[in-house]
Structure 1
């Protein structure tokens, strides 16, 4: 695969490279070193002397946040990456990427910090919702589609996190010990496929170490494998605050150290050259990569951008809804779905009213609106046929102040003088770098007050709290409840963003009345945080009713309806960046709720609103189980489409679902700083099969609203042809999966009306016929003959053909 997308491959590439060379020759050492360090949280400095504008980066992957991490700057929120992978449709991923490029251009962003293509090694990985799959081939295909779509829109990508960044526990310091074969066949494989097939303009190196070397200094994996063997010619940027060494970083192939202005590059890098510790040619290589990216995105004078004709605009809401319903995985259906027309429905669950549409951490964006399941079904069902009951609330702690709050920010200097004001669409405030209200600077800013009103929707004891570090003053309805310094148990620079909120006040309030609220914070950035950040959250929880009473009300609602739809969910304290999961159970009393509702109504449908696997102890008691992942801003509308049968659920599992007790690979906690991947190449479905264990639902599983017959398979060389027939009563879509030597080697989807057949032609990659030989340190061809299987899932193999390599 090496070098298939190399530099200067077309006349346009050659012309851009000439401009890059000319610009590079005009820069002195200090300017070059400056360009390799972030000037702030999200951007690189402009260099007017060569016609270079500032390069702006932004987090993804389900939206484009922009440089302002605030609800006041809304973004389209697509379904989670696990949902996108569940579509098994690279073309749909490509359309998602094109939409995100459109969003990036709207927000002045040149490079999207996405996609995440690490693997679901253990189901306990806290950030798995942000990655695609346990399988490297599926991950590579979906990732390639996403990268292609973004870059066709003239915006760069940074495929992350290179490499083996598969868990969150001690992620800054952990040394992951991985065999060369597992690295090549599993963890490097998606990156390699995307480099070959989509030619990404950037890559992000991870916090962790691999086999003793931190990834921002990993000369072998970056310089020899990524750039040398694969021919990658893009930018290598560090994960934020991952760069640790000036000399080792530049020698290890790290081009840019983010964020700024305090990094190991910049002045320190220029000084290292002058001291003879680093050759200036190393600096030139890194600067050339930055300038090449700038040329591609159109911010280097004299260079024609890589994309001169932009794609047609996309309706973001419509695409978000389409992806969501195509991603829903129907794992069980005993005739309950689709819900027959005219049936009465009891919708149950706190998550049905206050939907969780995305995962926590740096993937968070703020959509302009969210369609909850309650919103979607209210719009879709005839008036008078839908009832709602809370049943059980998965949120066992406070969340950012939102519904009923009208807030604004007031900034003051050390004398108490107001120096600026701003809006605050929620209780979460987060200003990074110079993203401050007009007239406010970090030099003058001493305190920030979130102030405004709260009109509760329920009477009773409301709980208020604080997420963040430092001095706070919390006042509700004229009474000060907290005026102290709030600390942290863990010395983690991200605790302000991802830590738990702390309860600080309980107040009796009346629904419909309006109350004054205020949270003031004295700004102080810890010394170990090398960036200017103002971040804290006013949190809130509504009155907590007796859980038994809530479940009893839900049971009565279910008993009175033809169909009960229960929405269960995880929370931000279960699935988020910054920590791994402790178990796979649903939080709160949601399992108990489902047991009770199922006993009252045989037509119970459970919608599982989680980004990654959870245990389903009641699955055999209910009529249908639908996995909705984190479905994005239009999730409720998509859910109504699928439940009512106007659209078929199109998803197939991109990762195995099973109990934690049965899962073959679970360890995410290092011992003495090391996490040894003792399972080698056996993760996901390969591990389940090797151990002879039966999961709850296997990799690739998913039902539709029709049936399919697999008629014939033919194999010619690396080409597999499969004919299938829709043997059901409705139009539908089938995803045909090809397994070779126990590994996913190809897939394709087909649509057909009832009674009609479809023929799919699937080209298998060369790599499907190879394995990594650790003796020769090279890829070698599989020997002997083996079966190619056309399957509905890894556990439902329909047709076989025996072939030789």
Structure 2
């Protein structure tokens, strides 16, 4: 058994303190002794609570046994067989931070036709590039609850990355999942629910990879807050402590879906899980990703998250990005040179290096990048045409043309605007104040209504909250080509608009009873790389309240005007209680993070050109304390020891927790109003597959390439005669003396491998068998249909149909009352128009993770599952029964 809670704990990760003392590629008693001392010291501290363990899992499973990847593996393996040792190690790591055009640049193997690969952010487009689209962020996409738009955005992002010559796109983000409402990067993902995140990831990956770009699902795993996420010489990163079932049913769920969709790369998180750094975590990489989930692509580090040489290699890591150690001053690396040396001294087996190189090239071949893929034509380091080719080598870098200003936007503004519009979530509309009439007198308040007066890209990576908030901050951003701000769109849509560009309520003179005040407020967050207005990535200073005294601005407007509309641009949930019940606050809309299309998308809704159809991808509570302290408390004061973040709430995040504790939110997960009304009728449920308690026995791995190889000649790692190096550029070459010395070291001493280390390949766990897990997990268990009618008489609109599963009672497993399992968005329906929507439940949807069997179990075959259907988690008026295959309408929901 290999659960988190029933084996021996592995020591906390070796930090870069050890790395500065010992060459981690070295085999010998000094490395083993230092490692043992650090491990013993960490274990003695007892930082990780009892019950949270990391089972050893070795060796790293080979790839190449999944049908969809066989052809790519055959090509990749043949090429790897022709490569020298230095060429193999060169493509498994980056050449150093700021040592090329992209955020990450691998080494190349030009002799055999392998170029440098360009790896680049952002999950919302192409970061630090010109002539691209600033798409709406993930949280905005999630709020559409629209699979088609999720896919179309992926297609557009894929085309833009391909057009710019990006080989590996660093998205989508599904970790953080949104466990902590104040978490800094929740907005990069699709919402605080595993199923919503999974669908967002799947559709995005499909769209991107159909364009021949390798997608990267990230960050695996438990990276749920920004502060203290990273190791440094003086501080351990925090440890996310998860039990086995919570890992599978919540946090790994969207990753499994992404792998099932064929994603080419997985990025490991900065933090530790159960005391061990993710980037050298044998259970996460070897057991979960490569064996249980059958991941066939390559695993990379997050930037500067690489912890070790040998330990990370044997734990399953395939690529080190951007190549440097955690403090990237001198061009040092735990791999490259060190990995070549580790191969020659026998510390890292050649089959592990061959497998890693093959995984990278298999993804390259699978996306068709060996034929006609554009060369990189932009420079993340500068907007000029001519720049230093290797900026970090300054002043010794040669210069050349690095920006070619290739236009890749095409008509992608159309899908960007549609997403921004369809994500707008109407929380409240008292008296039908919306939609507005163009002739009404509108007074607009708040600096969020207008673009940043200093320039829309004046704050690097959007590391300020000034003007319209269209994105969070950090590596998830895209430079705006333009910003259609709300005030420009409002003045174009209405005949009488007065704008007060202030966050303090001004003198407004005489106000008539018919005047309408539109108040713009915001709440920002981002990556811990920056501190913005006291917020260290997470919303640790602002909490769940509007920035810039936005709540007071609303109250002041409400005291003066009889008709107040509040528009919120936000990274996540806010506490609205200071003003939400004021009689004059008639309407509230959350516009999320709309990217470049913030204006017209909003006025289309405000003036009734489109009915709002967004739905909350998280819950809005009445107070922060409605959630448990394990998710509301941010780690903010640790020194030297390893901060612990223990997931004591287990499966119960967001609406699951609220339902369990009978806590009514202000607005529930999935909530969203419309200008029209919809009825759901004529529901039916049909059994498609006869289930069994456990999935059918998995197929054995077959057709695995032979990765074994004797240690090559030291000459394979030696630089060619006359080779001229660039300062700080990271190379895989060794001198002849170092190469010979590595071979000699391997004969005199051996690396001290961890307990449980093995070189014998495993057949794989019973829960595996294909990409994402046992292929039978995606068998359709039940199909449900429901008729949707627009019963209004004035407005067309789109309905969101959401299906929540309720497990039967007395199954022996604690389960949330309801869990989102599927959703569909209708096309726009005219008044009186009807359509039929189909929803599906898979075998996995009706399963729980059995920690004893280490497999997915259907706890009640043909039992009393209930599938609740409605337009929000607290608005469920249909229930379908899996045991009787009957549906009831007009019922009262379970929460």
* CA–CA distance in structure 1, aligned partners of residues 372 and 116 of structure 2: 16
Q: Structure 1's 127 and 302: CA in aligned 2 closer, same or farther, altered over 3 A?
A: closer
Q: Structure 1's 137 and 762: CA in aligned 2 closer, same or farther, altered over 3 A?
A: same
For the pair 1:755 / 2:835, whether they are aligned, the reply is no
* CA–CA distance in structure 2, aligned partners of residues 713 and 314 of structure 1: 41
**2:64, 2:70 within 8 Å by CA — same for their partners in 1?**
no
Tell me the CA shift for residue 313 of structure 1.
8.1
Q: Which residue of 1 aligns with 2:697?
A: none
Query: SS where residue 722 of structure 1 aligns?
Result: strand
Query: SS where residue 764 of structure 1 aligns?
Result: strand
Tell me the CA shift for residue 105 of structure 1.
2.1
* CA–CA distance in structure 1, aligned partners of residues 850 and 218 of structure 2: 26
Query: SS where residue 283 of structure 2 aligns?
Result: helix
Query: SS where residue 154 of structure 2 aligns?
Result: helix
**2:137, 2:593 within 8 Å by CA — same for their partners in 1?**
yes
Q: In structure 1, which of residues 661, 670, 674 is the aligned counterpart of residue 625 of structure 2?
A: 661
**1:789, 1:800 within 8 Å by CA — same for their partners in 2?**
yes
- 1:549-588 alignment to 2 at 5 Å? 551-553=505-507, 555-556=508-509, 559=512, 562-571=515-524, 573=532, 578-582=537-541, 583-588=543-548
For the pair 1:291 / 2:374, whether they are aligned, the reply is no
> Structure 1, unaligned stretches of length 5 or more?
306-311, 393-546
**1:19, 1:302 within 8 Å by CA — same for their partners in 2?**
no
- 1:140-539 alignment to 2 at 5 Å? 140-172=198-230, 173-196=237-260, 198-260=261-323, 262-300=332-370, 314-334=410-430, 335-353=432-450, 354-382=467-495, 385-392=496-503
* CA–CA distance in structure 1, aligned partners of residues 510 and 439 of structure 2: 17
* CA–CA distance in structure 1, aligned partners of residues 544 and 599 of structure 2: 24
CA-to-partner distance for each residue in 1:319-348, whole Å, 9 max, x for gaps? 211110011111111111111242121111
Tell me the CA shift for residue 704 of structure 1.
1.1
Q: Structure 1's 64 and 636: CA in aligned 2 closer, same or farther, altered over 3 A?
A: same
* CA–CA distance in structure 1, aligned partners of residues 146 and 534 of structure 2: 25
* CA–CA distance in structure 2, aligned partners of residues 229 and 171 of structure 1: 26
**1:389, 1:557 within 8 Å by CA — same for their partners in 2?**
no
Query: SS where residue 706 of structure 1 aligns?
Result: coil
Q: Structure 1's 388 and 656: CA in aligned 2 closer, same or farther, altered over 3 A?
A: same
Q: Structure 1's 318 and 662: CA in aligned 2 closer, same or farther, altered over 3 A?
A: same
* CA–CA distance in structure 1, aligned partners of residues 373 and 500 of structure 2: 60
Q: Return 56-65 or 658-667, whichever deviates more.
A: 658-667
**2:223, 2:269 within 8 Å by CA — same for their partners in 1?**
yes
Query: SS where residue 588 of structure 1 aligns?
Result: coil
Tell me the CA shift for residue 767 of structure 1.
1.5
* CA–CA distance in structure 2, aligned partners of residues 102 and 304 of structure 1: 11
Tell me the CA shift for residue 289 of structure 1.
1.1
* CA–CA distance in structure 2, aligned partners of residues 128 and 596 of structure 1: 30
Q: Return 765-774 or 145-154, whichever deviates more.
A: 765-774
TM-score if structure 1 supplies the norm length? 0.75
CA-to-partner distance for each residue in 1:147-184, whole Å, 9 max, x for gaps? 11111111111100011111112111111110101000
Q: Which residue of 2 aligns with 1:620?
A: 581
For the pair 1:686 / 2:650, whether they are aligned, the reply is no
Q: Which residue of 1 aligns with 2:877?
A: 798
Tell me the number of residue pairs that the alignment of Structure 1 and Structure 2 aligns. Answer: 628
Q: Which residue of 2 aligns with 1:695?
A: 665
CA-to-partner distance for each residue in 1:352-406, whole Å, 9 max, x for gaps? 0121211101112211111111111122223xx11101241xxxxxxxxxxxxxx
* CA–CA distance in structure 1, aligned partners of residues 133 and 180 of structure 2: 30
**1:127, 1:580 within 8 Å by CA — same for their partners in 2?**
no
> Structure 2, unaligned stretches of length 5 or more?
1-60, 98-103, 231-236, 324-330, 376-407, 451-466, 526-531, 688-781, 807-817, 885-895
Tell me the CA shift for residue 712 of structure 1.
2.8
* CA–CA distance in structure 1, aligned partners of residues 471 and 157 of structure 2: 16
Tell me the CA shift for residue 571 of structure 1.
4.0
Q: In structure 1, which of residues 55, 62, 65 is the aligned counterpart of residue 124 of structure 2?
A: 62
Tell me the CA shift for residue 302 of structure 1.
11
Tell me the CA shift for residue 683 of structure 1.
0.6
Q: Structure 1's 560 and 389: CA in aligned 2 closer, same or farther, altered over 3 A?
A: farther
Q: Which has the higher strand share?
A: 1
* CA–CA distance in structure 2, aligned partners of residues 688 and 707 of structure 1: 27
**1:129, 1:611 within 8 Å by CA — same for their partners in 2?**
yes
Query: SS where residue 540 of structure 2 aligns?
Result: coil
For the pair 1:599 / 2:559, whether they are aligned, the reply is yes
Tell me the CA shift for residue 802 of structure 1.
2.4
- 1:83-102 alignment to 2 at 5 Å? 83-102=140-159
**1:328, 1:628 within 8 Å by CA — same for their partners in 2?**
yes
Q: Which residue of 1 aligns with 2:393?
A: none
**1:296, 1:304 within 8 Å by CA — same for their partners in 2?**
no
Tell me the CA shift for residue 723 of structure 1.
1.6
* CA–CA distance in structure 1, aligned partners of residues 372 and 438 of structure 2: 62
CA-to-partner distance for each residue in 1:255-303, whole Å, 9 max, x for gaps? 1111135331101111112222111110001000111122234444799
* CA–CA distance in structure 2, aligned partners of residues 558 and 246 of structure 1: 69
* CA–CA distance in structure 1, aligned partners of residues 603 and 79 of structure 2: 55
For the pair 1:52 / 2:13, whether they are aligned, the reply is no
Q: Which residue of 2 aligns with 1:415?
A: none
* CA–CA distance in structure 1, aligned partners of residues 883 and 64 of structure 2: 33
TM-score if structure 2 supplies the norm length? 0.67
**1:52, 1:299 within 8 Å by CA — same for their partners in 2?**
no
**1:346, 1:557 within 8 Å by CA — same for their partners in 2?**
no
**1:120, 1:134 within 8 Å by CA — same for their partners in 2?**
yes
Q: Which residue of 1 aligns with 2:597?
A: 634
Q: Structure 1's 194 and 638: CA in aligned 2 closer, same or farther, altered over 3 A?
A: same
CA-to-partner distance for each residue in 1:117-176, whole Å, 9 max, x for gaps? 021102111111112111101110011111111111111111000111111121111111
Q: Return 717-726 or 159-168, whichever deviates more.
A: 717-726
**1:127, 1:576 within 8 Å by CA — same for their partners in 2?**
no
Tell me the CA shift for residue 560 of structure 1.
7.9
Tell me the CA shift for residue 78 of structure 1.
1.0
For the pair 1:731 / 2:796, whether they are aligned, the reply is yes
Tell me the CA shift for residue 7 of structure 1.
5.2
**2:442, 2:517 within 8 Å by CA — same for their partners in 1?**
yes
* CA–CA distance in structure 2, aligned partners of residues 149 and 322 of structure 1: 17
**1:370, 1:633 within 8 Å by CA — same for their partners in 2?**
yes
CA-atom RMSD in angstroms = 2.4
**1:55, 1:294 within 8 Å by CA — same for their partners in 2?**
no
